[in-house]
Amino acid sequence: MAPGKLVVENLSGDVNEDGVKELFSEAGLVDSIDFESSTRCVVKFYNSNHAREAMDKLNGTELKGKPMIITLCENPCRKAKLWVSIDGPTIDNDNFKALLSSSGAVDSFEMVSQHPDKSTWIVQFDSETSATNAIEYCNGAEINGRKFLVSKYDACKNLCVECRPKAVDENNIQSAFSLYGECTVNMEKDKNCKLTGVGIVSYTTSKGPEEAMRNLNGTKLGSVRLYVRGIVTQTVTEDNNPEEAPIIAVTEDNNTEEAQIFVIEDGREQFVATVNMKDFTSIPDFLQSLNKVWADHKHSSPLEEISLASPWPGYKVVYKHVDSKNKEVIQPFEDVEALFNEDPFEHSKLWFLGMVNRIEFYKK
């Protein structure tokens, strides 16, 4: 009888190999268990019938509080595995699969990184032909307000990383990312030789970027917060020369250090204050600063309680990220409570603080 393999996903982070083996062995003799990440493993049975029996019995059942998602793995083609990066609004699993399935059968997919305006996925197609179709039809395409960038999994060995604050020790970054494979780190500097907080981590294998993204995005390294913004892949220019280009766009103007505060009443705009956004390591820190600005502006005592959605009574607030040169609005943040309800992770809140550089209060 031919062997059978199962892909087990949505595992709790504290599940180990022994626990998985004990559970799945109830269906038959298990050959091996390979953890591809902290939440995903492949269970190999000596008998394919036992694999199917385990899938039928255990799919959807909970292991340490999380329902397992189990699919039959029939030797997936390595060349049919893709990275997909999406710039734009959040997309749910059903719509994501439906969109990619137009290129061919999707065996499995998983979102490995999410920010309010970007998400990164790994997709396994049934064949190299289907994967090639997805690259041809989706790479660079704008679909329903989202820009898709698609690349073969094995072609992506580099990561784009952002750090807050910007002054970081490159050796510490190297040590953190080296836990997931041999790599080099190159932190960028501006024309004044000051660190921009953005860098490229280059691995020798394609597995390193995936593991680093899963484990380091949003974590703290001492006083520094790490953001894995996306992968870097080989692209082709108009003259057919390959060059390294980020699968997500990160520019020097993406992050800001100062935010200007304005009050708009009766159509007139009044500058009130400037706050240094790099000083804030949490939303409460930011709100405390807005509270102080309120007290100074109104010549009154600080408010007892304020929220991000309504920090000043009697005013509507609009947070914006504007181009520092032409003042064009790049991204407004009007419904911030809904934003964080959809994406409650701490690193997304810090990303928000790193993007806002204009705050407008409109008299109601």
Q: Which domains does the chain have, with CATH numbers?
A: 4-73 (3.30.70.330), 78-154 (3.30.70.330), 158-246 (3.30.70.330), 258-363 (3.10.20)
Q: Residue 335's pLDDT is what?
A: 67
Long-range contacts of 201-206 (CB under 8 A, 24+ apart): 201/158, 201/159, 201/161, 201/173, 201/177, 202/157, 202/158, 203/157, 203/158, 203/159, 204/157, 205/157, 205/181, 206/153, 206/154, 206/155, 206/156, 206/157
Q: Residue 24's pLDDT is what?
A: 96
Give dist(CA 353, CA 256) in Å, integer: 9
pLDDT along the chain (364 residues), means of 10: 77 92 94 83 85 93 93 76 87 86 83 79 84 90 87 86 78 90 88 83 88 85 79 46 38 59 90 85 84 88 83 88 74 66 52 81 88
What is the pTM assigned to this prediction? Answer: 0.51
Q: Residue 249's pLDDT is what?
A: 34
Strand duo 195-203 + 220-221: pairing: unpaired
Structure tokens belonging to residue 333: 């943040």
Q: Residue 254's pLDDT is what?
A: 43
Structure tokens belonging to residue 43: 């269970």
CB 200 within 8 A of CB 209: no
Give dist(CA 223, CA 172) in Å, integer: 11
Q: Count the Cβ atoms, other than its own, within 10 Å of residue 95.
A: 11
Amino acid at 179: L
